[in-house]
Amino acid sequence: MGIMRWAFYNRLKEEHPNAGAAYGYITKNTGIRNGLEKDHAAGARCTGGNPKSIPLDANYMQKVAGKRNRQLHKATINKGGKRRLNQSPKYAHGCRLFGRVQMPGGRKGFILGRSSSGSFNVRALDGTRLSAGIRRKKPEPLEKRKAILAERGVRLPPHA
């Protein structure tokens, strides 16, 4: 990474002359001088050169949704030369993996697992389990899956 970092930085400087490098000791010193807690948002503000800016009240989490399973067919071929699919169907009871749903209590999450019997594993993007096996009629579909899943969350206080 050491050599690639400088090659990338030099190419970036050619296209954008105002680009600069940031180092951890500078970010730490800027945070200490401005009395900021050590967390990701404060580090980003120090690196950006505006440590006194007011942070947002929420954070945004994004995750790339996978497109398909790796193995398309079973390794063994059936009699007659037919190969069985190793993948589950694209839709199960009208829902697809990574679709956004609303749970009965009003919580929103993504379908990160499903079975052909009609139960879904609904989770938030940070991995918090909302339901391990909710039946197909309970969650209300909100939006179809996208390539990048995004979720707005509440900003937690920094670690002590």
One digit per residue, the tens of pLDDT, for the chain of length 160 reads: 678 988 999 999 999 998 888 888 999 999 999 999 888 888 888 988 889 988 877 878 888 887 766 777 788 888 888 888 877 777 777 778 888 888 888 888 888 887 767 788 888 888 888 887 777 667 778 888 888 888 887 665 555 4
- Any domain includes 105: yes
Count: domains in the chain: 2
114 and 93 belong to one structural domain:
yes
pLDDT at 125: 85
Q: Which of 22, 11, 18, 14 is nearest to 47 (CA)?
A: 22
* Whole-number Å distance between alpha carbons of 84 and 72: 9
Q: What is the CATH number of the domain that holds 121?
A: 2.30.30
Structural domain contains residue 142 = yes
pLDDT at 69: 63
User: Which residue range is the domain that position 38 belongs to?
Assistant: 2-55
Quick one: 105 exposed, middle or buried, by C-beta within 10 A (0-12, 13-18, 19+)? exposed
For residues 123 and 109, the answer to whether their CB atoms sit within 8 Å is: yes
Give yes or no: residues 87 and 51 share one domain.
no
pLDDT at 31: 93
Q: Please state, as a whole number, how many other Cβ atoms lie within 10 Å of the Cβ of residue 42.
A: 18
Residues 6+ apart with CB under 8 A from 73: 83, 84, 85, 86
Q: For residues 89 and 20, state if they share a domain.
A: no
Instruction: Supply the pLDDT for residue 54.
Output: 86
Chain position carrying tokens 């490098």: 21
- Residue 160 confidence (pLDDT): 42
